[in-house]
């Protein structure tokens, strides 16, 4: 049976998780472009991001913390290196962006003007071109007799009590 060092195994698992997360992120960002043209792909990127890229980055951060603990237990002083503080700041930013990306992808698919881009030659702003009523896309709009009233009031001609 070969003799493995714990530090080496954790380090390779950390690199593997980062590579899988980065590769999944690239594939998902490529798929974003295909969502506009195909109805069956709508919303798929946010689900894929939450299931693959986000978990790979989370696991990579956990394994990175384990690596730091192992370095401390081995008697090293990893915080003496000048680059580690910058690296930790970048890791926190990467994790924050990774956690927010799934929600942002889902929100972009539900917005009514998601196909607008600044490169379009139209002088109309995206909010002026939006033809959908406010509220959830696909939800029925409120009846005219219900505007401005609370939901507990009966419509005209209904029972008043």
Within a domain: 142: no
Rounded Cα–Cα distance for residues 65 and 130 (Å)? 46
Within a domain: 136: no
pTM of the model: 0.63
- Count of alpha carbons within 13 Å of 97, Cβ hemisphere only? 9
Within a domain: 160: no
* pLDDT on residue 132: 47
* pLDDT on residue 159: 55
Q: In the chain, which ranges are continuous DSSP H helix? A: 6-35, 44-48, 54-73, 83-110, 126-129
**Is 27 within 8 Å of 45 (Cβ atoms)?**
no
Rounded Cα–Cα distance for residues 60 and 6 (Å)? 16
Within a domain: 121: no
Tokens describing residue 119: 């490169």
Rounded Cα–Cα distance for residues 138 and 17 (Å)? 38
Q: What is the largest CA-CA distance in the chain?
A: 85
* pLDDT on residue 137: 53
Within a domain: 128: no
* pLDDT on residue 128: 47
Within a domain: 155: no
Within a domain: 125: no
Residues of the chain whose pLDDT is less than 50?
A: 112, 114, 116, 122, 124, 127-133, 141, 143-146
* pLDDT on residue 85: 87
Number of domains in the chain: 1
Owning domain of residue 21: 6-113
Tokens describing residue 18: 């980062």
């Amino acid at each position: 049976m070969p003799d493995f060092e714990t530090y080496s195994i954790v380090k390779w698992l950390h690199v593997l998780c980062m590579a899988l997360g980065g590769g999944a992120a690239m594939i998902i960002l490529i798929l974003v472009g295909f969502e506009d043209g195909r109805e069956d792909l709508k919303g798929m990127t946010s689900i894929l991001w939450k299931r693959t890229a986000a978990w790979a980055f989370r696991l990579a951060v956990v394994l990175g913390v384990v690596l730091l603990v192992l370095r401390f237990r081995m008697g090293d002083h990893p915080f003496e290196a000048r680059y580690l503080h910058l690296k930790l700041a970048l890791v926190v930013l990467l994790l924050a962006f990774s956690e927010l990306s799934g929600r942002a992808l889902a929100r972009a698919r539900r917005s009514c003007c998601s196909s607008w881009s600044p490169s379009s030659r139209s002088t109309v702003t995206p909010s002026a071109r939006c033809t959908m009523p406010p509220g959830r896309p696909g939800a029925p709009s409120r009846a005219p007799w219900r505007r401005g009233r609370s939901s507990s009031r009966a419509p005209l001609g209904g029972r008043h009590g």
